Structure 1
Amino acid sequence: IGSILIPSMKRAGYKAETAVAVVAAATSMGILVPPCIAMVVLGVLANVSVGALFIGGFLPAAVIALMLMALVYMQAVRGNFPREAKPTPRTFVRTFAQALVPMTMPVILFGGILGGITTPTEAASVAVVYGMLVGLVIYREIKLRDLPKIMADSAVTTGVVMFLIGAASLLAWNLTREGVPNLLSTAITIVSTSPWIFLLVSNVMFILLGAVLEGLPVLIIMVPLLMPLVQQLGIHPIHYGIVTIMAVGIGVFLPPVGVCFFIACSIGKTKLIPSTRAFFPFLLVLIAGLLVITFFPEVTLVLPRLVLGG
């Protein structure tokens, strides 16, 4: 997505570092928008409903998105950003009609999962078939000869994720066998037995780990170790899962070492220092949003309770 949006923003007249900062911030927040592989992995590791995580991510994502929009609006007013022509009603209707077909895919995913018709795996399979039909028949952007390469690429990606899960699960089992969760629990409870302090410590830890590792390995290694303490402190696992995912999402874009931030700079062909300077206000907003969903659990839990009950 960044390889499309960042060059498009540059062509529209935005500074390269501004384009990198906006896309990086949106992507960091976007990890909360389902369907997200991090939620699926965390749900499996923590024995938590993936559907509940999907629903729980909506409102936190909306809150942080509104905060980012407010920042962009203030910067646009003060910085005299390029202006786009206001779309006419006819243009809006035509664009909406064009987007209607791909917009059906989230309906398939969430409708199937929340309606109890399919499991997350089955819903994903149906969505893949639907996407293939759309690409082959409606948009005709995919040719039959492209399918073997697409399947091979998907197999490689899936294999990498499964290898990470297998290796990290083995590491987590060994650490558990050696009593590391108990040591970690003791170390944290020495500081404080407050669940709020634990959540703050978790935020800092996952942000820093996300900055030096990729997001999935961090979740796979740390979540099984921390979940017993989460349960002991009475923290709702859905709330903790969403907070953790958002913290990792910030970490992977944390300058100057965040892996994904380097990728964004590479796409935008910008230097690290000016891009970091442009990203810093967005980083503050992201951290503020993380604190909001950390200290106000109902932002995360209200929709799962409303839809799923409990």
Structure 2
Amino acid sequence: MSWAAHSVPVAHGVASEAPPAHAGAQALLRACERGLGRLVDGAAGLLVLADIGVLLAGVIARFVLHQPLVWSDELASMLFIWLAMLGAVIALRRGEHMRMTALLSRAAPHRRPLFEALALCAALAFLAMVIGPAWEYASEEQYITTPALEVSNLWRAAALPTGIALMMVFAALRLLRESPWRAAASAVAVVGVVVGAFWLGGSLFEDLGRWNLLIFFVGVGAGCVFAGIPIAFAFGLATFGYLALGTTTALPVIVGRMDEGMSHLILLAVPLFVFLGLLIEMTGMAKAMVGFLAGLLGHVRGGLSYVLIGAMYLVSGISGSKAADMAAVAPALFPEMKERGAKEGELVALLAATGAQTETVPPSLVLITIGSVTGVSIAALFTGGLLPALVLGLVLCAVVWRRYRHEDLSGVKKTPWTEVARLGAIALPALALPFVIRAAVVEGVATATEVSTLGIAYAVLAGLLVYRQFDWRRIGPMLVATASLSGAILLIIGTATAMAWGLTQSGFSGALAQAMGSLPGGAPMFMAVSVVIFVILGSVLEGIPAVVLFGPLLFPIARALGIHEVHYAMVVVLSMGLGLFAPPLGVGYYAACAIGRVHPDEGIRPMLGYALALLVGTIVVAALPWLSIGFL
């Protein structure tokens, strides 16, 4: 699942409150951060372009010239790990790492700077502890030669210590520049005391056995998540503490597991689909689709709500990023819907519900992650995701019909069919893109990773030749935004992979598998329990880290119980989507509120009806496997 950061802003006015003696220091810090930030931004943007170019060249060489480039995947993978780490650096500098802020947002305003400083200090503590093992890991990789390029693997592995060092620099700069000195000093003291206490009491953990799992993965991990510490660093602190204090494992192992989790070539689709989502908004493709649907259905009761549901379905099939989807659709529809008397809370509730509804529409980043960590065919997941999302869309339409059946449309004019046809012709290139993407994967033209490059090329040509809307000045910021969101996602995958490895080595994975596999009632009971588990996980961890942690554990059990992997994947993703977008904990709901500029309290009550509809739809999908596997 792809999400931009949900951070609570630091109190403004810090610089203005600084004494004159510190004004020069503040200016120097800002200049250093700005200069170094531009270098990192430029490098990350070029890496996004380079990966697009390498993969597109590989597709053309293999499919058109029939001369495969044997080194393309290896070079793309090498560039990708650098992109992931530099993207994580940008996300830290911009405060865009994913985090849970439901509790933090309820804190008194004067206490929020302290919690923000604590989040930075906790991240800094993890980075300081892991940079030594990261350098050791990279040093060992220098003796390995890559098979195709025949260069030292140090060129790739060096991305990890480099990225960690840069994150340390930016974390320290942000702490000095943004946090009031008292908050910063208090945060440093608190984190220092906690880390020191754990370290000095290290001998106590040697004899605790399985209790260490509760202490580190529940106490430290969950505690950090609820305290507002970015999820990637919360997972990292829990895993590092467990391995360092509760086991005899060599610490470079945690870096190796992070590398393994972040380096899977399938995940290269993440930044490319994120960039594609930004492209369709910039080129006017999303606006064209929304305009056509509004002309087609705008004159019926609840018509624009149906348009919102349909537009999210179509846009999700292109961008793969829910934040990008909602940002593309909401501004085009909300003003007109408000003019027709729709309440803001109702609008944002439906927007959040459609975000959950379309989680399985390809190319969903969560589906790509599932394929990466479980080995399920990406093409099968892409095919199986269309009908389940359509079922949930129909259930939402039923709720819309009930709520708007008495809407007054006396002042609404029906769009003439000639105008609808014109809008349809304009939208046709945009409407065709999801089918182009799916056909390229199914027909073997490109892999699930490479097909995003074809979508990008298609969107560029459509923007330049068809819609004549292509702002070259926005390309740079879009590339940096792509790197930032991708880095935030991939760092979570890396630390979650390390945590999953630690859980496996501890024996917890086997115990969980045995407990889930021995549930009374067989497959139906396992499916019901899975729905409950992933609704809860989706509301706390978001989709991607939850999948990385529990996907490798539960998918084999589902297979053993006779549940098709694609069917189980659809139920898991829809359940997590429900948790992600349901208040009060679901961060997706708060993202929808931010995009719609609506206070979260206004949408909670209308969201209850939509959440119940989503749950009913999820149960229908779980009960009818054909909806997920009928077209495989």
* 1:117, distance to aligned residue in structure 2 (A): 1.5
Among candidates 191, 195, 209, match of residue 523 of structure 2: 195
Q: How many residues end up aligned between the 2 structures?
A: 304
Partner of 1:237: 565
* Alpha-carbon distance between aligned partners in 1 of 2:576 and 2:382, rounded to the nearest angstrom: 17
1:79 Cα offset (Å)? 5.5
Asked if structure 2 preserves the Cα contact closer than 8 Å seen for 1:64 and 1:289, the reply is yes
1:162 matched to 2:481? The reply is no
Q: How does 1:172-187 map to 2 (within 5 A)?
A: 172-187=500-515
For 1:146-295, list aligned pairs within 5 A.
146-192=474-520, 194-295=522-623
For the 8 Å contact 1:105–1:127, the answer to whether it is kept is yes
CA distance in 2, matches of 1:12, 1:259: 29
Alignment of structure 1 residues 1-310 onto 2, 5 Å = 1-2=326-327, 3-4=330-331, 5-78=333-406, 80=408, 84-192=412-520, 194-304=522-632
Is contact 1:13-1:82 (8 Å) kept? no
AA partner of residue 498 (structure 2): L
Cα distance in 1, alignment partners of residues 392 and 407 from structure 2: 22
Deviation at 1:63, TM superposition (A): 1.4
1:303 counterpart SS class: coil
Alignment partners' CA distance in 2, 1:261 and 1:244: 19
Structure-1 separation of matches of 2:628 and 2:344: 34
Residue identity matched to 1:151:
L
Distance 1:206 1:89, change over 3 A: same
Question: Which residue identity is paired with 1:205?
Answer: I
Q: Deviations over 1:119-143 (max 9, x none)?
A: 1112111111221232344334333
CA distance in 2, matches of 1:204, 1:284: 14
CA separation of 1:257 and 1:94: change in aligned 2, threshold 3 A: same
C-alpha separation in 2, matches of 1:81 and 1:197:
47
- Which structure has more relative contact order (CA 8 Å, sep 6+)? It is 1
- Gaps of at least 5 residues in structure 2 are 1-325
Partners of 2:513 and 2:553 within 8 A in 1: no
Match of 1:307 in 2: none
Q: Distance in 2 between matches of 1:39 and 1:105?
A: 19
Residues in 1 aligned to 2:556 and 2:350: alpha-carbon distance in whole angstroms: 37
Q: Aligned partner of 2:507: which letter? A: G
Q: In terms of mean alpha carbon deviation, does 238-247 or 189-198 score higher?
A: 189-198
Distance change in 2, residues 1:172/1:8 (3 Å) = farther
Q: Does the 8 A contact of 2:517 with 2:557 survive in 1? A: no
Post-superposition, which runs of at least 4 consecutive aligned residues in structure 1 deviate over 6 A?
Answer: none
8 Å CA contact 2:344, 2:602 repeated in 1:
no
Per-residue Cα deviation, 1:76-102 (whole angstroms, up to 9, x for no partner): 114557874322111111110111122
**Highest CA radius of gyration, 1 or 2?**
2
Residue aligned with 2:419, SS? helix
Q: Distance in 1 between matches of 2:492 and 2:589?
A: 22
Residue-by-residue CA offset, 1:11-41 (whole Å, 9 max, x unaligned): 4421101111211111110112112111111
Distance in 2 (CA, whole Å) between partners of 1:210 and 1:52 is 23
Q: Is the Cα–Cα contact under 8 Å of residues 534 and 572 in structure 2 kept in the other structure?
A: yes
Q: 2:340 and 2:609 mapped to 1: Cα distance? A: 22
Kindly state the Cα deviation for residue 227 of structure 1 after the two structures are TM-superposed. Answer: 1.9
Determine the C-alpha separation between the residues in 1 that align with 2:453 and 2:336.
Answer: 32
CA offset at residue 7 of structure 1? 4.3
Query: Considering only aligned residues, what root-mean-square deviation do their CA atoms show, in Å?
Result: 2.0
Q: Deviations over 1:42-75 (max 9, x none)?
A: 1111101111111111111111111111211111
Report if aligned partners of 2:360, 2:389 keep a CA contact under 8 Å in 1: yes
Residue type of the alignment partner of 1:65 = G
Name the stretch that deviates more: 90-99 or 137-146.
137-146
**Contact 2:360–2:570 under 8 Å retained in 1:** yes
Q: Counterpart of 2:581 in 1: which secondary structure?
A: coil
Contact kept, 8 Å, 1:188 with 1:198, in 2: the verdict is yes
Gap regions ≥5 residues in structure 1: 305-310
* 1:73 partner SS: helix
Structure 2 counterpart of 1:26, one-letter code: T
Structure 1 residues 139, 175: CA separation in 2 closer, same or farther (over 3 Å shift)?
same
Contact 1:172–1:225 (CA under 8 A) maintained in structure 2: no
Q: How far apart are the structure 1 equivalents of 2:474 and 2:604?
A: 38
> Share of identical aligned residues, percent?
32
Q: Alpha carbons of 1:83 and 1:266: their partners in 2 closer, same or farther (altered >3 Å)?
A: farther
TM-score by length of 1: 0.91
